[in-house]
């Protein structure tokens, strides 16, 4: 059975074990350096595919104190907003949290509709703080003064007219139209930057780190790290106060856009009908928004090519959609007939069940390998982690990272091999409670 599934996957250009992690790391490092030098270019060439966005910022020396800020978290599926108050010791307290759906999921929104929707979502926080930390989990160029210019939307968000806009400025104008006092400052940051900042806040009580990496594997995927080399593409740029770029700063990679690796026929077929064809190549191979749909293409192909019994094959071919949550329910409990896939297999054979398991598990394995390569490249590029007692802190977040069946233990094992065993680089994975919210609040202050 393993031979049959391997032959099927290989016939369609899918080999999870074929993604040699060190080879992918090399490709990522090349692409990262090109992005820091020249920015992105023609995606059909050897020019950079990752944006490599300088943030002009570093983690603060200490936590804010006696401050309240509004925090917005615009993620891949959910839109969260709350008030964060730091006490006299710098401990954050989250209050007035509300969650709704991310604008632009259901239909195409104009620029005005998009920012009006955000303003409506913030009505419960009107004028409760003068500063806003806005975690905007999409590709954007951070300006020297902390605003963010949208480059591209991913995760199937439909708001094309917003691309090229300054998020902070547009939101500030929308809030004033909705009766707010104009915010003193809206600070834009990526979710990976927020995770990194939250990781930096964990260096207490005798713990110390040499550097920090933020890694998100949820609906989408991305990484951020601290680079201490001069960044050629922003040489000579200054902020509104005349300050040059800092010698070290957080860089957001936009790792999901990396495109210098082979794709299977399943990946190519899905990409043709995606909202962003040709973009976010690696994200579509790893993250939660895509693991279900791409796996479904593989399952339907396997059903048509005779890998399942007739009744099971017919039901798989008739499936209108498949999400990662459906995959996890099956992988965690393959004999539970109450789940979507378990129900399909109720009258199938043991071979059907094992074949389905092996195909789906192959996608999890590929995600673990490629995620390892992304984190490893960020650690290596940071130039830190050479001392065992001063590891690089890798602050991770995302439901795909935490909940996907068998992904996290594989990822940790691969990281230990390629970083510590092979390169004598030391790291520590940390999971902070509500890292995006806390990181965005620190950035706002």
Does residue 187 sit within a domain?
A: yes
Question: Per DSSP, what are the bridge partners of residue 392?
Answer: 211, 427
Does residue 293 sit within a domain?
A: no
- Domain extent for 156: 56-202+434-444
Indicate if the pLDDT at residue 155 is higher than 60: no
pTM recorded for the entire structure: 0.88
Does residue 117 sit within a domain?
A: yes
How far apart, in whole angstroms, are the C-alpha atoms of residue 303 and residue 7?
A: 14
Per-residue pLDDT at 382: 97
Does residue 395 sit within a domain?
A: no
Q: What is the mean pLDDT of the chain?
A: 92
Give the number of other Cβ atoms within 10 Å of residue 142's Cβ.
23
Indicate if the pLDDT at residue 387 is higher than 60: yes
Indicate if the pLDDT at residue 153 is higher than 80: no
Between residues 29 and 63, which one has the greater pLDDT? 29
Does residue 129 sit within a domain?
A: yes
pLDDT band at 144 (very low <50, low <70, confident <90, very high): confident
Does residue 188 sit within a domain?
A: yes
Does residue 425 sit within a domain?
A: no
Closest among 175, 44, 36 to 117, alpha carbons compared: 175
Count how many domains the chain has.
Answer: 1
Per-residue pLDDT at 117: 92
Tell me the mean pLDDT in the region 25-40.
Answer: 94
Counting other chains too, the contacts that 416-419 makes at CB distance below 8 Å and 24 or more residues apart are 418/21, 418/22, 418/25, 418/372, 418/376, 419/376, 419/379, 419/380, 419/385
Indicate if the pLDDT at residue 441 is higher than 60: yes
Indicate if the pLDDT at residue 69 is higher than 70: yes
pLDDT band at 139 (very low <50, low <70, confident <90, very high): confident
Does residue 353 sit within a domain?
A: no
Closest among 251, 197, 198, 191 to 216, alpha carbons compared: 191
Tell me the mean pLDDT in the region 294-304.
Answer: 98
pLDDT band at 402 (very low <50, low <70, confident <90, very high): very high
Tell me the mean pLDDT in the region 101-127.
Answer: 91
Ramachandran angles phi, psi of 94, nearest 5°: -100, 130
Indicate if the pLDDT at residue 204 is higher than 80: no
C-alpha torsion 323→325→327→333, nearest 10? -160
CATH code, domain with 174? 3.30.420.40
Indicate if the pLDDT at residue 76 is higher than 80: no
């Amino acid at each position: 059975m393993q031979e049959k599934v391997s032959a099927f996957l290989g016939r369609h250009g899918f080999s999870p074990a074929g993604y040699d992690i060190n080879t992918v790391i090399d490709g990522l490092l090349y692409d990262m350096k090109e992005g820091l030098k020249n920015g992105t270019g023609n995606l059909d060439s050897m020019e950079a595919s990752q944006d490599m966005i300088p943030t002009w910022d570093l983690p603060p020396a200490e936590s804010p104190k006696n401050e309240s800020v509004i925090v917005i978290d615009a993620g891949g599926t959910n839109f969260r907003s709350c008030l964060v108050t730091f006490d006299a010791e710098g401990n954050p307290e989250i209050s007035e949290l509300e969650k709704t759906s991310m604008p632009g999921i259901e239909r195409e929104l104009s620029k005005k509709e998009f920012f009006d929707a955000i303003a409506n979502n913030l009505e419960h926080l009107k004028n409760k703080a003068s500063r806003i930390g806005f975690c905007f989990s999409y590709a954007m160029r951070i300006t020297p003064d902390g605003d963010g210019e949208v480059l591209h939307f991913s995760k199937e968000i439909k708001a094309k007219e917003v691309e090229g806009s300054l998020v902070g400025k547009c939101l500030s104008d929308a809030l004033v139209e909705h009766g707010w006092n104009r915010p003193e400052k809206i600070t834009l940051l990526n979710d990976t930057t927020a995770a990194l900042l939250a990781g930096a806040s964990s260096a207490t009580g005798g713990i110390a780190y040499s550097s920090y990496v933020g890694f998100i594997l949820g609906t989408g995927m991305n990484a951020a790290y601290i680079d201490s080399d001069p960044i050629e593409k922003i040489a000579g740029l200054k902020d509104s106060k005349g300050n040059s770029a800092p010698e070290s700063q957080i860089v957001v990679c936009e790792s999901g856009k990396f495109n210098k690796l082979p794709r299977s026929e399943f990946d190519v077929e899905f990409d043709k009908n995606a909202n962003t064809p040709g973009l976010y190549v690696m994200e579509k191979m790893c993250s939660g928004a895509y693991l279900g749909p791409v796996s479904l293409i593989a399952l339907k192909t396997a059903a048509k090519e005779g890998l399942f019994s007739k009744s099971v094959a017919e039901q798989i071919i008739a499936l209108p959609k498949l999400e990662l949550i459906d995959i996890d329910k099956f992988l965690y409990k393959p004999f539970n007939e109450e789940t979507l896939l378990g129900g399909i297999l109720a009258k199938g054979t043991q071979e059907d069940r094992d074949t389905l398991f092996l195909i789906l598990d192959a996608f999890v394995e590929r995600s673990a390998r490629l995620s390892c390569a992304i984190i490893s490249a960020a650690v290596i590029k940071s130039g830190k982690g050479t001392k065992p007692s001063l590891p690089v802190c890798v602050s991770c977040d995302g439901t795909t990272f935490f909940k996907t069946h068998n992904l996290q233990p594989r990822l940790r094992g691969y990281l230990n091999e390629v970083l510590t065993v092979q390169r004598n680089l030391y790291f520590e994975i940390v999971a902070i409670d509500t890292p995006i919210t806390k990181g965005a609040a620190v950035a706002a202050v």
